[in-house]
Structure 1
Amino acid sequence: MTSRTDDRSWITLHRLALVLAVMTFGLIVWGGHVNSTRSGMAFPDWPTSNAAPMLTYHPSEWLWQSDRFWEHGHRLYASVVGLVTVVLMAFTLRATPSERRGGWTILAIDTAVFLTVATAIVGINSMPSVFTELVMAGLAILMAIFFTKAVRSQDIVRIHWLSQAAFAGVCLQACFGGYTVRNNLPDWTSTTHGMLAEVFLITILGIVYLTSASYRAGTVRNTLSAGTRKLVMATWLVTVVQFFLGALTRHTDAWGVSMVWPAWSETEFFPTADLWAYSQVVIHFVHRTMAYVVAAMIILQVVRYRRGTTIMAALLVGVQIFLGAAILWTYRGELVTTLHVMTGVLLVVLNTFTMFSASSAAAPQRRTVATSPDLGVGRAVQS
């Protein structure tokens, strides 16, 4: 097999992962708009929509009604993302030598996951809720196992386990979506649903990065100090935590407990002592305060590690704080609220790529592309 063929295979895998990442970004923003427009319960049933099969639900029933359009469109969009995830998993499964991916065992696991999830989805309306909950718990455990294997692996095998984690994650996300609707949008499931989307996106971004030409060529230079790497990792972590706090603020309606910015009220800069007894006040205040922490760390990050992603993050974080304040000024205007979600996702994406880059810079080995007749694609090896 020629190196040119290997390069084309890597490029195909990279492009497939990139397309999935872009689609996932759009899906998260779309899901945010479902929440912004209060469209989450446009249909009280799932996986059907008004008792009609999702894929055959007549367009005239949902295209021209705002809440149905956003919710049903979200469901259809998610189905396409799930399909592309399966294609990505199949591609990496085929590219990984059998002995390095667990042989037929992993195929049996994937088949069992698919059949179990399909059974849970089809029978969600008639089965006890505990069955769906057990399926979701099993998928979460499976994701954790696959992530652990990915961390301990190298080259195409690491990508293989990340794609397996993505497959388990998209199945878990589908179950959570249906479970959330079936239980009338409880705060904890809605928030978890949003965070799972972020975990899934970060997983796909990992595949995008590992299949990129710069990573495979080993062009990342080992020039970062340990302190800078720790700063980058901490910045990424607080950004993800802030996204979680934002999701919690949205889904608990904690955004409206203070309608003034930057002070808490017209007369007080901080919440008064009697307000701290309310969870919504605590959530809102922590989310608002964490925004300044994230901003400070992103600015410090761009000073210590100047690159395209850190500069863009530094520019966007100011926009994000403005949009957060604008939500209060517009009384949770739909467009402003969705833009706030979109910018939050962009910050996670930028800081994730920065974290990947800084982590790679910590490794002194150089990666080269080797040809293996067993792989079907080139594989990165340490030299």
Structure 2
Amino acid sequence: MTSAESPPTVENPWLARFAKLVVCATFVLIFIGGYTTTSGAGMAFADWPLSNGSLNPAGWWQNFMMRLEHGHRLTAGTVMTLVIVLFVWTLLRRRFLPRAAVPLAACALVGVFSQAILGGLRVILDPQGIAATTSTIATTFRVLHGCFAQIELCLVVSLAAVLSPVWPQLVAQPTFRKVARLGWVTAGLVFVQLMVGATMRHLGAGLAIPTYPLTPDGGIMPKVHNAFVDLNFTHTRFLALLVTIHVLLLARRALVSGEVRLARPALLLIALLVAQILMGMFVIWHLRPPMLTTLHVVNGAAVFATTVFLAVRASRSPAVDSPGESASHFHLTEATA
């Protein structure tokens, strides 16, 4: 090997598998958290970080609402532990990993602690038993808690993508940069859609327009306008259409890129988009059944995560096959900035 040649990339298969495990655990946490919110069990305990002043509150398994909320807290603690282990493991192996791995792991670590604090503030600042003037603050923290869960998910997804054995095998094509740009734009739109959806959900505006695709009076645009109706219309019609167009354009661009490792997540993204649209319609038609509503939330997170995953892969530069190479050609940090 000459000095001009780069050292071979050292694979870390067990670290890559563990990163995927953390991604799966995060999806489980989002499902449990979503179902807790849908069922109205978010304030089953009025204190935090303890539950009724205890780590193991009496009767929590027998009471459905307490079981949901305490189960959510236990799952959150498990995911936090997994993220800590993932960060330490990544830090110890940093010499053999792509340069983006440690910063992503550090962000995931900060993110999981931030999410826990937001969840605690969501409980502490709840207007239940507090002056009504705090209700806006409490709702804000509920929305932030829901949205930040999506950010944390995408941080661990991005880290899993970088740690994957596929990462050093990617051979970038000229079309990659176009896929990456459209991918990050699409991810931004999906996140805005998720924020509007979370706000609508926590304000109880999910059925402000109780029919779909037409409004109750048979039109396309609602005749009555208020904050709840306009928020619902923005989420279920305007942003839904905008996201659909961008996802399809992104999938098409990835499919014609000539790289099968971009084509596969693009096909998955299309399938998730179709499922999301169908679930959204059935949620309205059947008046927000709890399980289907929660699955709609989780599938929305999957759409966001898959879009970010595709954008991360497309941001891969052929010049960085090993951790010892210059980071000047590595566009992931630039793309996510």
Taking the TM superposition and a 5 Å limit, the aligned residue runs for 1:1-383 are 6-7=10-11, 10-52=12-54, 54=55, 56-58=56-58, 61-96=59-94, 155-184=97-126, 186-217=138-169, 219-224=170-175, 226-272=177-223, 275-276=224-225, 278-288=226-236, 289-306=238-255, 307-360=263-316, 363-368=317-322, 379=323, 381=325
Q: Is the 8 A contact 2:90 2:102 kept in 1?
A: yes
Q: Tell me by how many angstroms 1:328 deviates.
A: 1.7
Report sequence identity in percent: 27
CA distance in 1, matches of 2:98, 2:57: 40
CA distance in 2, matches of 1:163, 1:226: 24
Corresponding residue SS for 1:367? coil
Q: Is the 8 A contact 1:254 1:284 kept in 2?
A: yes
Q: Tell me by how many angstroms 1:6 deviates.
A: 4.6
Q: Tell me by how many angstroms 1:359 deviates.
A: 1.4
Cα-to-partner distance string for 1:50-83 (whole Å, 9 max, x where unaligned) = 222x2x334xx12232211111100000001111
Cα-to-partner distance string for 1:76-111 (whole Å, 9 max, x where unaligned) = 0000111111111222232346xxxxxxxxxxxxxx
Corresponding residue SS for 1:257? coil
1:57 partner letter:
P
CA distance in 2, matches of 1:352, 1:229: 9
1:48 partner letter:
L
Q: In structure 2, do the counterparts of structure 1 residues 256 and 44 end up closer, same or farther at CA, with 3 Å as the change threshold?
A: same
2:292 partner letter:
V
Corresponding residue SS for 2:188? helix
Q: Tell me by how many angstroms 1:4 deviates.
A: 11
Q: Tell me by how many angstroms 1:339 deviates.
A: 1.2
Q: Is the 8 A contact 1:43 1:49 kept in 2?
A: yes
CA distance in 1, matches of 2:32, 2:244: 25
Q: In structure 2, do the counterparts of structure 1 residues 197 and 298 end up closer, same or farther at CA, with 3 Å as the change threshold?
A: same
CA distance in 2, matches of 1:48, 1:193: 18
Q: In structure 2, do the counterparts of structure 1 residues 32 and 341 end up closer, same or farther at CA, with 3 Å as the change threshold?
A: same
In structure 2, runs of 5+ residues without a counterpart are 1-6, 128-137, 256-262, 330-337
Matched residue, 1:133: none
Q: In structure 2, do the counterparts of structure 1 residues 242 and 357 end up closer, same or farther at CA, with 3 Å as the change threshold?
A: same
Cα-to-partner distance string for 1:257-289 (whole Å, 9 max, x where unaligned) = 1101011223432122xx33x222221111112
Q: Tell me by how many angstroms 1:48 deviates.
A: 1.5
Q: Is the 8 A contact 2:183 2:308 kept in 1?
A: no
1:39 partner letter:
A
CA distance in 1, matches of 2:101, 2:179: 27
Q: How many residues align?
A: 303
CA distance in 2, matches of 1:5, 1:281: 54
Q: In structure 2, do the counterparts of structure 1 residues 93 and 303 end up closer, same or farther at CA, with 3 Å as the change threshold?
A: closer
Q: Is the 8 A contact 1:260 1:266 kept in 2?
A: no
TM-score normalized with structure 2 length? 0.83
2:44 partner letter:
A
Q: In structure 2, do the counterparts of structure 1 residues 195 and 267 end up closer, same or farther at CA, with 3 Å as the change threshold?
A: same
CA distance in 2, matches of 1:207, 1:168: 14
Corresponding residue SS for 1:262? coil
Q: Tell me by how many angstroms 1:300 deviates.
A: 2.0
2:67 partner letter:
F
Higher helix share: 1
Q: In structure 2, do the counterparts of structure 1 residues 13 and 226 end up closer, same or farther at CA, with 3 Å as the change threshold?
A: closer
Q: In structure 2, do the counterparts of structure 1 residues 225 and 14 end up closer, same or farther at CA, with 3 Å as the change threshold?
A: closer
CA distance in 2, matches of 1:380, 1:337: 47
Q: Tell me by how many angstroms 1:184 deviates.
A: 1.4
Matched residue, 1:110: none
Matched residue, 1:123: none
TM-score normalized with structure 1 length? 0.74
Corresponding residue SS for 2:325? strand
Cα-to-partner distance string for 1:198-232 (whole Å, 9 max, x where unaligned) = 11111111111111112123x23324165444322
2:85 partner letter:
V
